[in-house]
Chains A and B, each alone.
Chain A
């Protein structure tokens, strides 16, 4: 390691931290290791707060949760080799869901690269398919430009993770360059607003349409288009369905909202999908969990697509018209060119679906996730930041926690990463310290990242985590029951610990909810407690999520209720 010659001279590590500070970074999540010690040494004098996690995957999900609720890139700092590879699941999760992250990984010294040095891993190569862009820094003097580019790339256009790999001798080396460096991003384009002619032509597609439907996705949330969507819906009377990550882009309690569509969407959303004569996606990928079978998706309906990523246009569904650009800016213009539509009949049709096929749950057989979610919804008046893990509880939470606000719903949508929920909730709580954060997780996913109870305890974060224990990997068990003659295989989660005691061992308050009767009181007790709380919910073992559209099938194949035995 090079020792500083004079106090005025900065090392690469100090330069890096100065750059991060000027990007407005508050928190860095991660774990140190050999090659990043120069950076940790420089951190001693920094205003930025380092959050030591228990696993690099936890750090990456925390940064993701922080980013989703603040709109600012989440920052991760880890060491080389296993430290770096442990972030891959979190990077992939962020990439699939367009979440801005800047991941700083340590790397072996430059002369050792490619020589199997201790803890050397080609993370630049390994991460390539799951990053928006990445860098291997080869010169200390390049640090200011690369960090500026990394933050710019992460959070403009379609956001995503950017990885910066820093060899030990680059961060320990002396910085002799300038902080004022221009970005060099010749091939990076943020789509401008489409031409007036294109927007007019797009608006013309709505002419003569009787049953228009808006499909709002994560892109609408990221673009902060909620105001424009509301105007569009209310002015023209267009009903709305949302994707899992589009929750909050349009208030789900609004009379014209049909809630989530797709595999476990509401029956009324999926019925509207079958019946509509025009569907306009705003920032959704038409992913297979919502289209089921793209050959049979909305046959006969006009398909319109608004997306900031040109590569999404025609990827799954070939649209009749499309606009590439920022959803908010496009909608502002589009509203000007749309002509009044008569959707009265259509509105009563979807209202009929809502009345006839409501979401429902049963409290007579014991404790269930839908009931608990609904209780939390009522206690928090729908205003909590809600984070889920992945599986049955995720779908139930999406169905029953109606979301009226953008940036208050976090879930691993595209990647379906078990273990995401709890650390993401911690990250969200760091980002929004005054909001109530509720994580709903299953006993399977929670055990993948539960060591972050330590992180919640150390920082006294008031995050509430509801661990729904059914002693199964429930979603797989559900598929085995419905589609594999109930031949259970690899889903029995016996041997889990007493979660209340686990919480207490970490210094976290633990509450057990055994039945329906005591649920409300105990949830209120959790909310009233100032620190972190683990709520262990002893839910009934075998309960299935409905409605359900079997994988690969169109909405016509929806099972609204459990099949009769």
Chain B
């Protein structure tokens, strides 16, 4: 899996929707020298709980300790790492490029190829939204750089297990 190569870990958490939870979780990472690359928090289907997806880098032994300390937090219901094929991963990228009429046909082709979508455009810029795996978005980003890319914003990874239980 792409994750393991760079010691990048994807961790999902189900947490109580209470003030302070985010700080408690992120300090468990920070204290042990883990740098969080991406963090997504959103309400879960039950308004009392939120889901968090954390992408972070560091050695696996330390991660084991971080996860144990995290799941020990009273407000954390569960905490899992997703390394293999047990889960689907998706993220969203918003990409802003210069609006160059000559590039339009290529852009349209690429948008179609990557199942992306033009969200808005004017005479100066085009904003494209693209969802996919981290690898797909990396690739899309690389391609778009050739066409006057001004800015990219990525959502961070979302993850969901394929099992019957919740992530």
Contact = CB atoms under 8 A, between A and B. Distances in A.
A114 interface: no
A124 B20 contact: yes
Interface string B8-27: 00000001100110011001
Contacts of B68: 310-311, 313, 315
Nearest to B19: A136
A133 interface: yes
B65 A188 contact: no
Interface string A122-146: 0011001100111010000000000
Contacts of A315: 65, 68
| Residue in A125, A132, A185, A311 with the greatest tally of chain B CB atoms within 10 Å | A311
B74 A185 contact: yes
B105 to A, nearest CB: 53
B104 interface: no
Contacts of A313: 68
Contacts, number: 46
A139 to B, nearest CB: 12
Majority-rule SS of B interface residues:
mixed
A184 B74 CA distance: 10
A128 B26 CA distance: 12
A111 interface: no
Interface residues of B, number: 22
Contacts of B20: 124-125, 128, 134, 136
B6 interface: no
Nearest to B64: A314
A481 to B, nearest CB: 34
A136 B18 CA distance: 10
Contacts of A136: 19-20
Given A128-B27, A187-B15, A311 B74 contact: no
A153 interface: yes
A340 interface: no
A134 B72 CA distance: 14
Interface string A464-490: 000000000000000000000000000
B19 A133 contact: no
Contacts of B27: 128-129
B143 interface: no
A310 B74 contact: no
A26 interface: no
B74 A128 contact: no
Contacts of B15: 187
Contacts of A153: 74
Given A128-B20, A128-B24, A133 B74 contact: yes
Nearest to B77: A187
Nearest to A188: B74
A148 to B, nearest CB: 14
Contacts of B65: 311, 314-315
B27 to A, nearest CB: 6
Interface of A: 124-125, 128-129, 132-134, 136, 153, 184-188, 309-311, 313-315
Given A133-B73, A153-B74, 9 more contacts: A133-B74, A136-B19, A184-B16, A186-B49, A309-B72, A310-B68, A310-B71, A311-B68, A315-B65
11 contacts: A128-B23, A132-B74, A184-B16, A185-B74, A187-B16, A187-B71, A187-B77, A188-B74, A311-B72, A314-B65, A315-B68
